[in-house]
Amino acid sequence: DVVKNSQVSEPKVDNLVYKDDDLAGQAKATILSLVRNEDQKEIISAIRQMEDHFNKNFNYPYTFLNDDEFTEEFKEAIKEVVPTDRILQFGRIESEIWDRPSSIDDEKYQQCIEKLDQEEVQYVKKESYHNMCRFYSKNFYKHPLLQDYKYTWRLEPGINFYCDINYDVFQFMELNNKIYGFVLNLYDSPESIRSLWTTTMEFINSNPEYLNSNGAFEWLKDNGQKPNNFNITGGYSTCHFWTNFEITNLEFLRSEPYEKFMDFLDEKGGFYYERWGDAPVRSIALALFADKRRIHWFRDIGYNHAPYTNCPKCPPDSNRCNGNCKPGHFTPWKELNIENCQPVWIKYIMNEEERNLY
Ligand code: GDP
Ligand code: MN
C-alpha cells in the first residue's frame, strides 16, 4: 500500500488530501517558473521530478514566465514531458514591468554596482539579476496569467526533488490556513542589503499598524554565527527563506501591508543601488506582517538547489525517498553555521513538541 508506506514522519497528519480524494488537485494553484529559453534542459529536469514525485497525482497546471518570447522549441519540449491533459500557460513579461525603471539614476547605479562588485557581491553586475529580484518581490503575482490563482509553487531550473510527496501540498496550505511554505533558511550576503533593514524600519515607523503581533521577529534578529551582519545591515541577521523553493498564498502578497511595503522599497531604489534579493525582501515582509503560525516549514520535502539540500527523516520502512536523499540526514538542519540559519527558526518559532522531533 503506497500511501501507508509513505506517510510523512512529522506531525502532518490532519487534513491531508490524497490523490483519489474529491479535493485532490482542486486548489486554485499553479506551479510557476520564471525561465529563459536557454534553461530548457534544466527546467525539463525539474518538471520531470515534480511530475514523478508529486504532480502526476494532482494535475496542477504550470505557468512559465519570461521577459523574452518563448520559442516554439521550448514550448514543444515542455509539452513532451507532461501528460497531454496538463494545462500549460506561457507568458511574456512586459518590458515596463521587467526592466530597470527610469526612476533609477543611471550614473549612481553604475557607481554603486562597481563598489559592490569590489566587495564581491554575487551577480551585482548582472542587470537581469536585479530585474529578476525586483520582479519576484513586487510584480510576479500581478501577471495576468496568475490573476485567477491563489497559490503558486515556485520551480527553478536545475533543482532536484528526492522524495515522494503523496498529499496535495496546495490543499494542505488551504485546509491549514497557511500563507507560506519553505524548505531552507540561509544567511545572506549583508553587503547586498546594506540599507534594507533601516529602510524597513523607516516604513514600520510610519505604518506601525501593519506589524503582526504574532510575527516571527526573533527569527530576523538572531545573529548567531554572524555578529558582523548587524554592523553592516543595522540590525537584521540576514536570515531568510531560500525563495527558489516557495509555496505562496498570493492573497498575502496582494494585501495592503505587502504592497505598500513593496512600493516603498521600490522608491528607495535598493533593488538597483544595492542588490536586494527577493528572498530577504519576502522574508522580512512575512516575518513582520504575517502570523508566524501561518508559515510552514516543509521539512518533509526532499529538495536540492545547488549548493544546499533539505533531506527529510523517513520512517524506517518507507520507500518515500528510495535512498535518493538519505533518510535522517537533516542537511543542514541542526548545525547553525555561517550559512545555515534553519536552527534559528527551529529555536524560536517551533513549539516544544515539534522541536523535539529530531
Ligand atoms: P540563483 O538561484 O540566485 O542563482 O538565480 P537564478 O539564476 O536561478 O535565477 C532565479 C530564477 O529566475 C530562476 O528561475 C531563473 O530561471 C530566473 N531568471 C533569472 N534571470 C532571468 C532572466 O533574465 N530572464 C528570465 N526569463 N528568467 C530569469
Ligand atoms: Mn536558482
Least confident of 18-32, 190-204, 216-230, 310-324: 310-324
DSSP 22-53: TTTT-SSEEEEEE--GGGHHHHHHHHHHHHHH
Helix, strand, coil % over all residues of the chain, rounded to 5: 45, 10, 45
Q: Considering the chain, what percentage of its residues have pLDDT values greater than 90? A: 77
Report domain extents, the chain.
14-93+144-176, 108-142+179-358
Which pLDDT score, from 0 to 100, does residue 282 have?
A: 98
Catalytic residue among 156, 246, 267, 335: 246
* Domain 108-142+179-358: CATH superfamily, name plus number: Spore Coat Polysaccharide Biosynthesis Protein SpsA; Chain A (3.90.550.10)
Q: Are strands 303-305 and 180-182 parallel, antiparallel or unpaired?
A: unpaired
Catalytic (active site) residue 251? no
Confidence of residue 1 (pLDDT cuts 50, 70, 90): very low
Which pLDDT score, from 0 to 100, does residue 182 have?
A: 96
**Would you say the CB of residue 279 lies under 6 angstroms from ligand 1?**
no
Which pLDDT score, from 0 to 100, does residue 260 have?
A: 98
Residue type, 184: L
Q: 128: CA distance to ligand 1 center in Å?
A: 8
Peptide bond into 280 cis (omega under 30): no
The dihedrals phi and psi of 107, each to the nearest 5 degrees, come to -65, -45
**Would you say the CB of residue 156 lies under 6 angstroms from ligand 1?**
yes
Ligand 1 atom nearest 67 alpha carbon:
26
Q: 77: CA distance to ligand 1 center in Å?
A: 19
pLDDT (tens digit per residue) in 144-165: 999 999 999 999 999 999 999 9
Q: 35: CA distance to ligand 2 center in Å?
A: 10
Q: Are strands 240-241 and 185-186 parallel, antiparallel or unpaired?
A: antiparallel
Which pLDDT score, from 0 to 100, does residue 7 have?
A: 35
Edge to edge, the sheet with strand 29-34 lists 88-92, 62-66, 29-34, 151-154, 247-249, 180-182, 295-297
How far CA 95 is from CA of 52, 92, 98, 131, in Å, comes to 35, 9, 5, 10
The dihedrals phi and psi of 113, each to the nearest 5 degrees, come to -75, -30
- Bridge partners of residue 247, in order along the sequence: 153, 181
Q: Are strands 88-92 and 62-66 parallel, antiparallel or unpaired?
A: parallel
Which pLDDT score, from 0 to 100, does residue 153 have?
A: 99
Ligand 1 atom nearest 33 alpha carbon:
14
pTM of the full structure: 0.94
Q: Where are the alpha helices (DSSP H) in 85-236?
A: 95-98, 106-118, 127-134, 169-175, 196-206, 217-221, 227-233
In angstroms and rounded to an integer, the radius of gyration of the C-alpha atoms of the chain is 20
Which pLDDT score, from 0 to 100, does residue 328 have?
A: 63
Grid cell for residue 116:
559592490
How far CA 2 is from CA of 6, 48, 114, 315, 320, in Å, comes to 6, 20, 55, 13, 9
pLDDT (tens digit per residue) in 180-210: 999 999 999 999 999 999 999 999 999 999 9
Q: What is the ipTM of this complex?
A: 0.99
